[in-house]
Structure 1
Amino acid sequence: MIEIKNLTKVYKTKKGEVKGVDNVSLTVKEGEIFGIVGYSGAGKSSLLRCINLLERPTSGSITVDGTDLTSLKGEQLRSSRLKIGMIFQHFYLISQKTVYENISFSLKAANYPKDQVKQRVEELLKMVGLSDKRDVYPSQLSGGQKQRVGIARALANNPKVLLCDEATSALDPTTTKSILNLLKKINKELNITIVLITHEMDVVKEICSRMAIMQDGKVIEDGSVYDIFANPQAALTKEFIESVVTLEIPEVILNGCEGPIVKVTFRGKVAGEGVISDTLQQFNLKGNFLHGSIEYIQELPLGIFIMELKGQKQEIEKALQYIENRAAQVEVLRNGL
């Protein structure tokens, strides 16, 4: 659906050239929700704006639904952009126009058949749950309602791709969840491919199937959300995940431990099984649980446990091997053997 190859975007500043996007290659599959994560300045917004050519890349190519957008200009480019809707963090609604007028404006600008505009706007208002707000102005809406208008406007011309630029960053947690549920509904019912940029791993965990981590204009890690949560490789990725799955244990607790401290990661169905209790019984060990949680990502369980093992060295070594054979990963955080 979206294929980005060797994309680079260079900005010219008073201090010289700056690479906003540095040789990025990514593929987004049709009908999936793909997350791009990074801190401010990582290049994720620049990359997103390149996808619909709001920013023209310095080099590289962007193919959307089989069309290389970087090869288009003028009317051909404008026509192809109609396949790509976009929603923004700050909504960008026209304050002097009603909800109905904000949505219909997008249709009129795209030369949508005049006799079908009213019906299309009514359909969109129903889809985003704002039929009762048809004639009110943006100032009378909550933040979540404004974003729903933004989503309806982005969907007006039946796009195949929806780009979301920090779409929930200005919203409270409850409203964020409702907007994410709406995006999931749109993705499922309309089969619209969604690319979502954010600095919030909770958002990615909730809605995305695959993701990429960006730093200094580069993609430093990408893959399925589940796999990245289960086994992050880059230091920045681990930092992001720890903002959602807290694994920090106070030093005073660690100092009181005498045996080895291990982190065990269980993937899939095995996360709900009693592997650790079986291990402690089978190898005559005692376990001091320091931390444990089961996260659900794309409805699949991911179990993460940190514990101190107490017992004979030989038994502990056998137990670690036994756990490793049943788990995705065993990491010795501190070797007390």
Structure 2
Amino acid sequence: MIEIRNLSKIYKTKNGHVKGVDNVSLTIQEGEIYGIVGYSGAGKSSLLRCINLLERPTSGGITVGGIDLTSLKDGDLRLARLKIGMIFQHFYLISQKTVFENIAFSLKAAKTPPGKIKNRVEDLLEMVGLADKRDVYPSQLSGGQKQRVGIARALANNPNVLLCDEATSALDPTTTKSILNLLKKINKELNITIILITHEMNVVKEICDRMAIMQEGRVIEEGRVYDIFATPQEELTKEFIESVVSFEMPEVILNKCKGTIVKVLFRGEVAGEGVISDTLQQFNVKGNFLHGSIEYIQESPLGIFVMELKGENEEIEKALQFIKNRSAQVEVLRDGV
């Protein structure tokens, strides 16, 4: 488990002091994939670098696996860092070394006995799907392949935690998906806790169990990814989610609608049931679908529909109450005119 307690990081600049991380407290459970989301400058990368003390926090504490990292002296901190792997957006491979040598470098730096290095590197190459790239140089690799080398290098010393700093931001969508699948495989098979920094909600939706939204150095919202997608509280969170699931209706469409316009959210298995069709059969109302989809988050369905209901107000109220009893949320966007 990782505990971040009242952590702040203040930078000294020519223009004064800048607070990169502002009193953040988070608990990340062992074996989960945790996403930290925010725009550039939100403080998420500063927070990540504080977790393994690449940057020492100005105040607060970091406990990883029961060890308070901020209390360790240099030698003990170096040993503790061996159990915290890190992968980066821009790979940072050594161009003059082969794929094998890049991965072996981490093992040599940790003073691994030479006789154990060869087998360990070959096992890692097999795990990340690069066994056939053993002797090639980084310049001969695609972006996705370079990131696979970076992942193998981060796993070399059998870490318990893997920190990912915008690990997919430089990759195309197809390659991103393959890297996320690899991270899910690593998490499941090795039970490694993964903390993933990103500004892409698609990444969080695809891979994370829980998440935090950061703004101006602070965590403004935190919880299960499914719950945050279903019921976002903060405007910034809603903005991020709308980049993935957009339900903005064109005014020209809304102006044509004379009935009551509602947004209906279905959680869990009820998202796949025929609630709307049952409603239209049981009550004297007519329905017109305007927009909708079912998203799958951690394999659980989340259905969101925008529709127009026409009929007598009393019947519409009965229909809405029926839907509310069968779903998580009904929001009236506009009353009938």
How high is the TM-score relative to the length of structure 1? 0.99
Q: CA deviation at 1:260?
A: 1.3
Structure 1 Cα separation of the partners of residues 62 and 333 of structure 2: 43
Q: SS of 2:289's equivalent?
A: strand
Q: Which amino acid aligns with 1:315?
A: E
| 1:279 match | 279
Partner of 1:219: 219
Counterpart Cα distance in 1 of 2:278 and 2:284: 10
2:59 maps to 1:59: yes
- How far residue 336 of structure 1 moved from its aligned partner, in angstroms, is 2.0
Tell me the residue number matched to 1:311.
311
Quick one: which amino acid aligns to residue 321 of structure 1?
Answer: Q
Q: 1:104-123 alignment to 2 at 5 Å? A: 104-123=104-123
Residue type of the partner of 1:252? V
What are the Cα deviations for residues 118-167 of structure 1, in whole angstroms up to 9, with x where unaligned?
A: 01000000000101100000000000000000000000000000000000
Moved over 3 A (4+): none
Deviation at 1:246, TM superposition (A): 1.3
* Letter of the structure 1 residue corresponding to residue 333 of structure 2: L
- Please tell me the root mean square deviation across aligned C-alpha atoms, in Å: 0.6
**In structure 2, what is the equivalent of residue 8 of structure 1?**
8
Equivalent residue for 2:40?
40
Equivalent residues in 2 for 1:1-337 (5 A)?
1-336=1-336
Where structure 2 has 5 or more consecutive residues not aligned to the other structure, the ranges are none
- Partner amino acid for 1:3? E
What is the letter of the counterpart of residue 252 of structure 2? Answer: V
The amino acid across from 1:177 in the alignment is: K
Paired AA for residue 19 in structure 1 = K
Partner of 1:7, secondary structure, is strand
Give the letter aligned to residue 173 of structure 2. P
Q: 1:113 deviation in Å? A: 1.4
Q: Which amino acid letter does the alignment assign opposite residue 97 of structure 2?
A: K
Once residues 224 and 319 of structure 1 are traced to their aligned partners in structure 2, the CA distance between those partners, rounded to angstroms, is: 30
Could you list the per-position Cα deviations for residues 81-139 of structure 1 after superposition, in whole angstroms to 9, with x for gaps in the alignment? 00100000000000000001100000000011111000100000000010110000000
How far apart, in 1, do the equivalents of 2:2 and 2:277 lie?
46
SS at match of 2:303: strand
- Please give the alpha-carbon distance, in whole angstroms, between the structure 2 residues aligned to 1:166 and 1:49: 12
- Cα distance between partner residues in 1 of 2:21 and 2:334: 39
Counterparts of 2:184 and 2:22, CA distance in 1: 30
CA distance in 2, matches of 1:113, 1:290: 65
| Structure 1 alignment gaps of length 5 or more | none
Which amino acid in 2 is paired with 1:207? I
* AA in 2 matched with 1:106: S
The one-letter code matched in structure 2 to 1:100 is F
Q: Secondary structure at the match of 1:145?
A: helix
Q: Find the aligned partners of 2:135 and 2:62 in 1 and give their Cα distance.
A: 39
Residue 34 of structure 2 aligns to a residue whose secondary structure is strand
CA distance in 2, matches of 1:292, 1:113: 58
Which TM-score applies when normalising by structure 2? Answer: 0.99
Give 1:268's aligned amino acid: G
Q: Which one-letter code corresponds to 1:122 in the other structure?
A: E
What percentage of aligned pairs have identical amino acids?
A: 83
What SS does the aligned partner of 2:266 have? strand
Q: CA deviation at 1:281?
A: 1.2
Match of 1:111, as an amino acid? K
**More moved, 139-148 vs 316-325:** 316-325
> Could you tell me which amino acid in structure 1 is paired with residue 8 of structure 2?
T
Q: Residue 108 of structure 1: SS of its match in structure 2?
A: helix
**Matched residues in 2 for 1:312 and 1:280: separation?**
13
The alpha carbon displacement at 1:335 in A equals 1.8
Deviations 1:251-271 (A, max 9, x none): 000011111111000000100
Whichever residue aligns with residue 202 of structure 1, its letter is N
Number of residues of Structure 1 aligned to a counterpart in Structure 2: 337
* Structure 1 counterpart of 2:140, one-letter code: Q
1:230-279: per-residue Cα shift (whole Å, max 9, x none)?
Answer: 00000000000000001111100001111111100000010000101111
